[in-house]
Amino acid sequence: MQPSFSCSLLAKVLIEKHAKKMLKLTVNGKVHSIEDVDPSTPLLWVLRDGLNLVGTKYGCGVAQCGACTVLVDGRPVRACIYSLGAAAEHEIITIEGVATADGELHPLQQAWIDLDVSQCGYCQAGQIISALALLQNNPGPSDAEINEALAGNLCRCGTYLRIKAAIHLAAQHLSDTGGRT
What angle separates helix 160-176 from helix 124-137, to the nearest 10 degrees?
40
* C-alpha–C-alpha distance, residues 111 and 106, integer Å: 9
pTM over 0.85: yes
Residue 10 has pLDDT above 90, yes or no: no
Q: What is the DSSP letter of 46?
A: I
- The residues of the chain that CATH labels 1.10.150.120 are 107-176
Q: What is the pLDDT of residue 179?
A: 77
Contact 76, 129 (CB under 8 A): yes
Q: What is the DSSP letter of 96?
A: G
Contact 46, 84 (CB under 8 A): yes
Nearest one of 98, 105, 107 to 172, comparing CA atoms: 107
Digit-coded pLDDT (tens) for 43-79: 999 999 999 999 999 999 999 999 999 999 999 999 9
Q: What is the pLDDT of residue 13?
A: 56
pLDDT band (50, 70, 90) for residue 178: confident
The residue that leads in pLDDT, 168 or 180, is: 168
Digit-coded pLDDT (tens) for 159-169: 999 999 999 99
* C-alpha–C-alpha distance, residues 172 and 177, integer Å: 9
CATH code: domain 107-176 is 1.10.150.120
- Specify the 3-state DSSP secondary structure of 27: strand
What residue type is assigned to position 2 of the chain? Q
- The residues of the chain that CATH labels 3.10.20.30 are 20-97
* Architecture in CATH of 20-97: Roll (3.10)
Contact 133, 118 (CB under 8 A): no
